[in-house]
Amino acid sequence: MPKPIAWAGQAVVYAAVAAVVGYLSSAPAYQQVPEGMAQIKISFRHGGARLEDCKRLTPEEIAKLPYNKRRPTACTRERLPVVIEISVDGAVAYSAVLPPSGLSGDGPSETYDKLLVPAGPHRIEARLRDSRRSEGFDYEKTAELVLAPFQNLAIDFKADQGGFILR
């Protein structure tokens, strides 16, 4: 049978642990974004164009293929890297050449990054190139936004929805 002193000691230890957990659940105060700042998050997955154009096969070339692999075109799997650039108030804040993912370089290019900017009005320009062109961009979007303190602005990219989406 446990002694009353053991019960009292156990109660003191449990109370101390509960007090420490209670304190740490509310303090020290943590802020993800510093005072007076807003956050821009860039996050997307997008596959660039194929590295080479598909080649149309002749009837003789198709006949040489195994029956289960016959198709009218032959395409390489590799994709081009995606070039992205984000400017805030005329200054480039994020610029990257995103290689395709996958062992064969045939997957989508991916990025996730955060930018801290002062709260207030901003001109945000987003540009992306996913083709073989050497200069310029295939998709561009410019937006004039007023970001509130602690606001999170997400920049996404969906080619089938017209390009950049700012939320």
For the segment 60-115, what is each residue's pLDDT rounded down to a tens digit? Answer: 999 999 999 899 998 888 999 999 999 999 999 999 999 999 999 999 999 999 99
Residue type, 53: D
- pLDDT surpassing 80 at residue 1: no
| pTM tops 0.85, yes or no | no
d(CA 119, CA 39): 9
Query: Could you tell me which residues are beta bridge partners of residue 142?
Result: 125
- pLDDT surpassing 70 at residue 164: yes
Average the pLDDT over 104-129 and give the result.
97
* Contact criterion met (CB below 8 Å) for 110 and 45: yes
- pLDDT surpassing 80 at residue 2: no
